[in-house]
Structure 1
Amino acid sequence: MKTINYIYSLLSIVVIMAMGCEKDNFDAPTSMLTGRVVHQGQPLGLRSGGVQLELWQHGYDLFSKIPIHVDQDGSFSARLFDGNYKLVLLRGNGPWADNTDSLDVNLKGTASVDVPVDPYFIITNQSFQRNGNEITGTVTIQQVNTSRSLERVAIYLGQTLIVDQNNSAARAEVVSGAIADFNQPIELTVSIPASLADKGYLFARIGVKATGVAEYLYSQPQQITL
């Protein structure tokens, strides 16, 4: 009896190892989907990893989403298997109005898609100037979707290209009540912190936030020589 039990145990181990090898031998996805989150054809500045898209594919037993994280320059990419997908916005995630429409993506080798959104505000005419130990940023804020009001505008300084509300060495902000007309140029000034003063350069960025929305919409980061 012990011999029979040993044989059964040995056979079980062989089966499990064979199943594991079969699973490991599945081909990895090789096709590439790339794209941008845009307004009027222009990519939007976002918090790095703060915005997520959802990719869905029908026709399989397990119907679940594939999360696609958007980079701070508005671009995204994912390595996938060929097939037909639905690309949708994650509700309540992003500095724009919700949109339940989906985009059809036919992936065969490569595919590139722009995802249009309806932002509450956009930033134009960005410029930065160093004055002694301070950085002054100037932007114009344009309201696109009027369903939410302006809450605040902020300037951020950082040591790396990744700079936003969660990644900064210094920041300053102006709340909406202190802005007489946000259609006119807005100036924000922030002191250069000691941690950046001796680095020789820093990165600056400006963000705008709508009321009731977690994510800011940003200008593209700009390097400033000290």
Structure 2
Amino acid sequence: MFVLHLFFYICYTIITNIVFHLTIKKTVESSNLDQVKVFLRKSMLTDHVVFDQEIKIDLNNIVLGTETRVTAQLSTGLKDQDYIFARVGVKASSSEEYTYTSVQKIILK
């Protein structure tokens, strides 16, 4: 089974951009990353099926065990909100399921 420890926090927002930092730690040596995504939504329930915006992280930018900084533009439907919810999902190449962080509320205004 593939398991990752995910550490995710929102750093700050800049007008229509969001900047966040995440660290992914590998716990099963034979596992390989397949996908890393951030899911944003107006409501708390969000995952790879239900989201308002999906941000795909380039795997070439990720070094396991090292903090990765990502900047993304908020979609039109989210940038005018007072707050949104975010969650990181990581999928291993040997698995059909994502491993998720807890959902975090991000205050935009």
Q: Which TM bucket (shorter chain)?
A: 0.7 to 0.9
Question: Could you tell me which residue of structure 2 aligns to residue 151 of structure 1?
Answer: 34
Tell whether the 8 Å contact from 1:137 to 1:206 is kept in structure 2 after alignment: no
Structure 2 residue identity aligned to 1:148: S
**1:210 is the counterpart of 2:84:** no
1:180 Cα deviation from its structure 2 partner? 5.3
Tell whether the 8 Å contact from 1:120 to 1:143 is kept in structure 2 after alignment: yes
Structure 2 residue identity aligned to 1:201: Y
Question: Could you tell me which residue of structure 2 aligns to residue 220 of structure 1?
Answer: 102
1:211 Cα deviation from its structure 2 partner? 0.7
Q: Which has the higher helix share?
A: 1
Q: Which has the higher strand share?
A: 2
TM norm structure 2: 0.85
Q: 1:156 to 1:190 in 2, by over 3 A?
A: farther
Matched pairs, number: 107
Q: 1:156 to 1:218 in 2, by over 3 A?
A: same
Structure 2 residue identity aligned to 1:143: K
Structure 2 residue identity aligned to 1:193: S
Question: Could you tell me which residue of structure 2 aligns to residue 130 of structure 1?
Answer: 13
Question: What pairs up with 1:47-58 in 2 under 5 angstroms?
Answer: none
Percent sequence identity over aligned pairs: 23
Moved >6 Å (runs of 4+): none
Structure 1: which 5+ runs fail to align? 1-96, 98-118
Q: 1:159 to 1:180 in 2, by over 3 A?
A: closer
Q: 1:185 to 1:167 in 2, by over 3 A?
A: same
TM norm structure 1: 0.44
- Largest Rg, 1 or 2: 1
Structure 2: which 5+ runs fail to align? none
Determine which of 41, 44, 48 is the counterpart of 1:165: 48
